[in-house]
Structure 1
């Protein structure tokens, strides 16, 4: 029985791997045209969700060091995809937002993935989507970046 469970988990790992490859394949093709990588895509994604996000908040969301963020952030600014401005409440705080070009690219990238997920959820129904969210929430809940996501999302909802 134990052997059977291990085989099932190996199957789940393989499915997760191949699903992730499918999920990232088209966006990877798109970002390649811009000379950027997945880390840049993640940065664009979070800035799009939270316009005006500070660099420190972005570090928390991405769970990376300042050093790891510096290069990709600089490249996105140089490519005209994001802009960095001083916060009105504190000049030391840099707030990030997408340029029009950056917003267009982020939408293109995320639309591909939203369409993939939407098609699958439509195929299998609402209960499947709810179960998928439960599994993903369980996997994500121990991440500090997910805590930062929930906090920022709550603030964004309150401001609407």
Structure 2
């Protein structure tokens, strides 16, 4: 079929067949979409002397206030050295607070300060605006399909972290 889809929904008839050219176009679309998606936050981060690693840290600290350094390491999938560099800057600049654990004094729990929350809100609003516009243009069914594609591309361990965040939204 011209659209790359087969007819039915049962067995092998429900499979989607794509040519290498269609896949290449999808890969390129993802590259350029990601570039657009990060463009506005990159500009904001640059004004503050930060990069994308700082953005990811601020985003996930905001999503899970009180997260430990180890849990953030696992979520971000970065080295301890890399995360320490990012956290040190965010703490020194007054965007993140590191609090000693109440049960385990060796743990450090991370929280955004009011300044950190303001930066996170500015970064998120830039991305939400772009997503909102794209979702409206694509329509409801495309949004659901896009989400399924993204989730299917995740490695199982990444999917587990993603699912944990979804459960927290309930």
TM-score by length of 2: 0.84
SS at match of 1:83: strand
Count of equivalent residues: 153
Question: What pairs with 1:6-155 in structure 2 (closer than 5 Å)?
Answer: 6-140=20-154, 142-154=155-167
Larger radius of gyration: 2
| Structure 2 unaligned regions, length at least 5 | 1-17
Superposed CA deviations along residues 64-85 of structure 1, whole A, max 9, x for unmatched, are 1211211011011011110100
Superposed CA deviations along residues 3-35 of structure 1, whole A, max 9, x for unmatched, are x81222211111111111000001000000000
| Structure 1 unaligned regions, length at least 5 | none
SS at match of 1:91: coil
TM-score by length of 1: 0.89
Q: 4+ runs of 1 displaced by more than 3 Å?
A: none
SS at match of 2:19: helix
